[in-house]
Amino acid sequence: MHPCAICQRSRAQIVRPKNGQKICKACFLDVFESEIHTTIIENDIFPTRGERVAIGASGGKDSTVLASVLKTLNERYDYGVEFVLLSIDEGIHGYRDDSLETVKRNAVQYGMELSIVGYEELYGWTMDQVVDKVGRKGNCTYCGVFRRQALDRGAKRLEISHILTGHNADDVAETILMNFLRGDLPRLGRCAEIVTASSTSTMKRSKPLKYAYEKEIVLYAHHRQLDYFSTECVYSPEAFRGSARSLLKELEKVRPSSILDIVRSGEQLLYKDIGPSKKTPSVASGDPNQQSTRKQTQKQEGPRLQTVGSCKHCGYMSSQPICKACALVYSLNKSNALVEVLVTEEPS
Amino acid sequence: MDQPMEFEVTMADIAKSSADAADALCRRCRAVPPAVTIRTEPLCAACFTTYLRTKFTRHMEPFRVKPGTEINRRRLLLALSFGVASTALLDILHWHRSLQLQRARRAEYDVLVVHIDESAVASSSTGAVDAQLEKLRGQYEQFEFRSIPLHHIYELPTAIGDTLPDEIAAELEQNGDGESTNADANPLSRLRALLSRLNSRASQVDVIAILRARLLAELAKINGCEAVMLGDSMTRMAAMVLAEVTKGRGHSLPWLISDGPTPYGPSLVRPLRDLTTSELNHYLSFTDIAHLSNATSSAPKPPVAAKNQTIDEIMIRFFDDVSNNHLTANVVRTAAKLHFADDEDRVQRLGLCEICGLPMDENPKLRVARARGHDVSSSNSSNGISNGDSNGNGSIYDADARIYCLEPSPGEEGMKQRRCYGCRRTTQGAGKVDWPVDNR
């Protein structure tokens, strides 16, 4: 018998994906939960008692584990917050209708209020209809833009200003790699943040599972016997994310901490994009950039400032005269190519 | 409406025919058939070579002959691994210097070519270094060639010699080669002992890379070279960026990939950073020097078990894959734009990492707080222990242990103040190590 590395008493049943520790089931559940508790406390995710917070719930493993763990922790450590499940119905037959049934059961199991917002009621289009129109390639763009806004709108309806999402460490690490591969510097500086409350949005979003490995989430769901829905979206997954994901899996094999290490690296890249620094960076001997003078002048000009306005159509906040979701809906309704719509909508 | 008559030549025909003709010839000189297509442009070998050398020369601006200046011979150290890129760099540098001699009747610089011999510790290295160097000496007469074993880093004047930790000295005595009876053990066994304490091949190769870079810098200093020339191609740089990110070294990324001064002395210059590995391969074959590199001979590499791969190997393979080729430029350019405004401040407050010699990192949370203008000094920097107490006041747990699974093993406490995150990860479980150079 191999004793658990933590309690030294029970038999070790689980090899922890994060660090290869051999531990027993009880210690795994405990360490998994307390890591999320640490994350919540360290990052002050629930600053005010009595707050109502939405959990973006898809019925999948991540959001189900999130809801379950938060319920446990809220009772154990008395955060004093109230959770509401917020689901988006994209209108995908054979996928979302089934997973929503899971969410409905979860709502009963966890005693949480459930609110469902549908693409159809918000935009007049279900994803099935969108895919019929635009085809399978590129439909994720529509779904992504719609979902982001739908979550905000759903939360607003519930008079909630804080949404929790089930993004895990693998997701964050993957996004960091992807933003490097795509050359997306602004997003690179943002994607590892645990709480995002941008100037363009009143809605706060947090990722309490940011340090939790996908493998451990699956293990947790398994050992807690959680009721979740494990089918992939029926429409094509993002191909690009797929290549970042397979790269990540390979790295995890060589060094299991790689995922955390990438997240940590990503966190270090935050600094620059938090805002133009007040201090003038000096070109002293310690500067690694030889051509830094030019770079720094560019930097001091700062990033192009986004001004928040509201969409002329729907009134939702937008940096453009018309928000992205409305532009997409407009293109769908007009049956014009997306590009043309965006060109005509360019601000003067 | 009317169909054009058969002998009539339309504009479309002209456009088409000229395109056909052009396709058959090099796009630049329009004299010879193209030998290679570079970034959609078909080029002949000569035009391609010109293109490649132009890209190189751009980075050699500081080393061009300045008319009217005194003749002061500057020295450069070229790191040669016998791989494709460094062999190409050797050839191009030789061409560059010859051109200076020819045009200005003097050269601005002399080159010391150094091969770091890792055959004693890395299985992938081939022997026969001397024969290979002899071949190069014959071909590149202007340069001086030397082969230095990696463990020489323990014999440098700057090396920490006499203060071996007792446990390591004991260990050396045990499995030493007989000659290591005192703390001044022979350098090779010291190096081997260091590597044997690391928990994976990935970590060993990481440490070897750090030592190699450092040894090159120290050799440059000793030999009066003002810069170390590295053959890193764009492909290699992209792999390096993502590999260092994966090792948790995001905080020192600008230092790792920028050309220019290093915290420990000579500058780094990577004149091939705008060229891809495949372009350099073409160069070797066009200039007929492929035989000088050992890249071709080692082509059928012995398969490495998936678990025993290194992070760098995975990344290099990812970018060597043609379907990912187009991503290299994105990665390199994005990384080049990163600039940490707090770098200097960080060096002053936290110092340099005792392993990699680059600026220390800081708990990300504190860093964000500092960037947002919150006062974190009271809990942190003023007492000089800064990163050690990196959770600040009021923290209930050690975030590094709880969140990042980077728990110090018994006897390793306090490592946080001296080793950066990436080096703590690489040396995790190694305890006290016999590190050859002093960074702090």
pLDDT 10s digits, B324-341: 888 999 999 989 888 777
CB contact under 8 A, A268 and B403: no
For the segment A121-146, what is each residue's pLDDT rounded down to a tens digit?
999 999 999 998 888 877 888 888 89
Region B235-263: what's the mean pLDDT? 93
Region B252-265: what's the mean pLDDT? 88
Would A303 be classed as within a structural domain?
A: no
Listed residues A249, A273, A297: the one ending a domain = A273
Name every residue whose Cβ is closer than 8 Å to that of residue A163 and which is 6 or more positions away in sequence.
A53, A54, A55, A56, A86, A151, A152, A155, A203, A204, A205, A206
CB contact under 8 A, A265 and B373: no
Q: Do both A193 and A336 map to the same domain?
A: no
Residue A274 carries which side chain, given as an amino acid letter?
A: I
pLDDT bucket at A340, cuts 50 / 70 / 90 = very low
Would B256 be classed as within a structural domain?
A: yes
For the segment B180-196, what is each residue's pLDDT rounded down to a tens digit?
444 557 999 999 999 99
- The sign of the torsion formed by the CA atoms of A321, A324, A328, A329 equals negative
Q: What's the Rg (C-alpha) of chain B?
A: 26
B372 CB neighbours in chain A (<8 A) are 274
Q: Do both A61 and A181 map to the same domain?
A: yes
Would B16 be classed as within a structural domain?
A: no
Residue B184: both structure tokens together: 């001044």
| pLDDT confidence of residue B275 | 95
Report the residue from B244, B258, B309 with minimal CB separation from A289.
B258
Give strand pairing partners of A118: A89
Residue A165, min C-alpha distance to chain B (Å): 19
- The sign of the torsion formed by the CA atoms of B396, B399, B402, B403 equals positive
Would B332 be classed as within a structural domain?
A: yes
Q: Do both A207 and A267 map to the same domain?
A: yes
| CB-CB contact of A209 with A65 (8 Å) | yes
| pLDDT confidence of residue B346 | 84
| pLDDT confidence of residue A332 | 87
CB contact under 8 A, B402 and A181: no
pLDDT bucket at B17, cuts 50 / 70 / 90 = low
Would A229 be classed as within a structural domain?
A: yes
Q: What is the predicted ipTM? A: 0.85
B250 touches chain A (CB under 8 A): yes
| CB-CB contact of A109 with A80 (8 Å) | no
Mutate to test the interface with A, among B313, B334, B349, B387 (most CBs of A within 10 A): B334
Residue A128, min C-alpha distance to chain B (Å): 31
Instruction: State the alpha helices, DSSP H only, in chain A.
Output: 25-42, 61-77, 96-110, 119-123, 127-134, 139-157, 169-182, 185-188, 214-223, 239-254, 258-268, 292-301, 324-334, 338-344
Give strand pairing partners of A52: A82
| pLDDT confidence of residue B340 | 78
User: Does residue B266 or residue A189 have the better pLDDT?
Assistant: B266
CA dist A324 and A221 (Å) reads 36
CA dist A219 and B88 (Å) reads 50
Listed residues A273, A295, A320: the one ending a domain = A273
What's the domain range around B366?
Answer: 72-426
* Pairing of β B260-262 and β B36-38: unpaired
How many separate domains does chain B show? Answer: 1
| CB-CB contact of B241 with A266 (8 Å) | no
> Does residue B410 register a pLDDT over 90?
no
A88 marked among binding-site residues: yes
Would B44 be classed as within a structural domain?
A: no
Region B31-55: what's the mean pLDDT? 91
Q: Do both A259 and A317 map to the same domain?
A: no
How does A128-154 read in b/e, with b if 16+ C-beta sit within 10 Å? Answer: bebbeebeeeebbebbebbbbbbbbbb
Among chain A residues, CA nearest to B304: A254
Region A170-187: what's the mean pLDDT? 92
Q: Do both A242 and A327 map to the same domain?
A: no
* Pairing of β B265-269 and β B109-117: unpaired
| CATH (domain of A148) | 3.40.50.620
Q: Do both A104 and A224 map to the same domain?
A: yes
* Chain pair A-B, CB pairs under 8 angstroms: 184
For chain B, the straight-line distance linking the first and the last C-alpha, in angstroms and rounded, comes to 84
A279 CB neighbours in chain B (<8 A) are 341
Name every residue whose Cβ is closer than 8 Å to that of residue A323 and which is 6 or more positions away in sequence.
A149, A311, A313, A314, A316, A317
Which SS3 state, helix, strand or coil, does residue A87 take? strand
Would A15 be classed as within a structural domain?
A: no
Mean of per-residue pLDDT scores for chain A: 83
CA dist B269 and A174 (Å) reads 31
The CA-based diameter of chain B, rounded to the nearest angstrom, is: 100
| pLDDT confidence of residue B428 | 87
A296 CB neighbours in chain B (<8 A) are 339
| pLDDT confidence of residue A140 | 84
Q: Do both A233 and A319 map to the same domain?
A: no
CA dist B186 and A292 (Å) reads 43
| pLDDT confidence of residue A133 | 87
Mutate to test the interface with A, among B319, B339, B372, B409 (most CBs of A within 10 A): B339
Which of these, B366, B404, B251, lies nearest to A269 by C-alpha position? B251
H, E, C per residue of A190-202: CCCCCEECCCCCC
Residue B397 carries which side chain, given as an amino acid letter?
A: Y
What length does chain B have? 440
Region B73-87: what's the mean pLDDT? 94
Which of these, B347, B357, B335, B367, lies nearest to B253 by C-alpha position? B335
| pLDDT confidence of residue B390 | 39
Would A287 be classed as within a structural domain?
A: no
Which of these, A154, A173, A145, A176, lies nearest to A330 by C-alpha position? A145
Give strand pairing partners of B38: B41
Q: Do both A183 and A54 map to the same domain?
A: yes
What length does chain A have? 348
Would B439 be classed as within a structural domain?
A: no
Region A24-29: what's the mean pLDDT? 95
Would A126 be classed as within a structural domain?
A: yes
Q: Do both A221 and A319 map to the same domain?
A: no
Region A73-98: what's the mean pLDDT? 94
| pLDDT confidence of residue B380 | 40
pLDDT bucket at A305, cuts 50 / 70 / 90 = low
Q: What is the pTM of this model?
A: 0.85
How many separate domains does chain A show? Answer: 2
| CATH (domain of B331) | 3.40.50.620
> Does residue A169 register a pLDDT over 90?
yes
User: Does residue A186 or residue A21 have the better pLDDT?
Assistant: A21
For chain A, the straight-line distance linking the first and the last C-alpha, in angstroms and rounded, comes to 73
Would A278 be classed as within a structural domain?
A: no
User: Does residue A177 or residue B417 have the better pLDDT?
Assistant: A177
Region A335-346: what's the mean pLDDT? 47
Mutate to test the interface with A, among B405, B407, B423, B427 (most CBs of A within 10 A): B405
- φ/ψ bin of B353: left (φ > 0), alpha (ψ from -120 to 50), beta (otherwise): beta
Region B262-269: what's the mean pLDDT? 89
What element of type H or E holds B335?
Answer: helix B328-337
Pick the most confident of A232-236, A316-320, B273-277: B273-277
Q: Which residues, numbered 75 to 134 in chain B, qualify as contacts with chain A under a Cβ-Cβ cut-off of 8 Å?
A: none
Would B18 be classed as within a structural domain?
A: no
Would A293 be classed as within a structural domain?
A: no
Q: Do both A171 and A314 map to the same domain?
A: no
What's the domain range around A134?
Answer: 28-273
Among chain B residues, CA nearest to A243: B324
Region B218-246: what's the mean pLDDT? 96
Residue linked to tokens 């220390």: B360
Which of these, B437, B283, B262, lies nearest to B358 by C-alpha position? B262
Which of these, B142, B141, B159, B140, lies nearest to B150 by C-alpha position? B159
Q: Do both A268 and A327 map to the same domain?
A: no
Would B64 be classed as within a structural domain?
A: no
For the segment B84-141, what is each residue's pLDDT rounded down to a tens digit?
999 999 999 999 999 999 998 889 999 999 999 998 887 655 568 888 899 999 999 9
Would B437 be classed as within a structural domain?
A: no
For the segment A261-280, what is each residue's pLDDT rounded down to a tens digit?
999 999 988 645 434 333 33
Residue B356 carries which side chain, given as an amino acid letter?
A: C
Would A288 be classed as within a structural domain?
A: no
Region B54-67: what's the mean pLDDT? 91
Give strand pairing partners of B267: B227
Residue A90, min C-alpha distance to chain B (Å): 32
CB contact under 8 A, B337 and A278: no
User: Does residue B79 or residue B307 have the better pLDDT?
Assistant: B79
pLDDT bucket at A300, cuts 50 / 70 / 90 = very low
| CB-CB contact of A17 with A211 (8 Å) | no
| pLDDT confidence of residue B231 | 96
| CB-CB contact of B187 with A241 (8 Å) | no
Region B289-295: what's the mean pLDDT? 82
Q: Do both A219 and A327 map to the same domain?
A: no
